[in-house]
């Protein structure tokens, strides 16, 4: 891949992902993203072609970023802190999704119709399934 893990650190504040910790990290982001911006500035291509090229470009960029994230060196303390932060973020998101789903169900009940956001429901069931599979795998590796 193109990027190097030593150019980045994990994003601790304000979301997930990476943060450039060296000038090489900033240059990497600039050099990788500049062609995409220039591509969109030129008026030669149709919207569908732009969509496909942007999708392929972002897919390749995401693969490189994920590769960097998996190869970041973290000590035991950083691993524990990240796990606690992820757990807290997950519980917060689940709580907000459940409140939103209940709100929509109650709003629908007031007008006598079934109103469920299936994407929210899918996210909640997907999270529960991921947790179950992880627990099963972890119990088998003991």
Q: What is the DSSP string of 42-85?
A: STTS-HHHHHHHHHHHHHHHHHHHHHHHHT----HHHHHHHHHH
Cα–Cα dist 32/123, whole Å: 32
73-105 pLDDT tens trace = 888 888 888 888 888 889 899 999 999 999 998
Domain edges within the chain: 5-70, 76-140
pTM of the model: 0.64
15-39 pLDDT tens trace = 777 889 999 999 999 998 898 888 8
């Amino acid at each position: 891949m193109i990027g190097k893990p030593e150019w980045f650190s994990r994003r601790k504040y304000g979301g997930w992902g990476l943060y450039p910790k060296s000038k090489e990290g900033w240059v990497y982001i600039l050099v990788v993203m500049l062609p995409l911006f220039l591509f969109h500035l030129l008026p030669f291509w149709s919207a569908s072609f732009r969509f496909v090229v942007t999708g392929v470009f972002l897919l390749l960029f995401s693969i490189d970023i994920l590769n960097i994230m998996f190869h970041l060196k973290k000590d035991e303390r950083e691993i524990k802190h990240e796990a606690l932060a992820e757990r807290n973020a997950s519980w917060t998101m689940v709580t907000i999704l459940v409140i939103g789903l209940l709100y929509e169900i109650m709003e629908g009940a007031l007008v006598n119709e079934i109103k469920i956001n299936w994407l929210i429901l899918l996210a909640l069931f997907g999270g529960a399934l991921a947790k179950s599979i992880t627990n099963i795998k972890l119990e088998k590796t003991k």
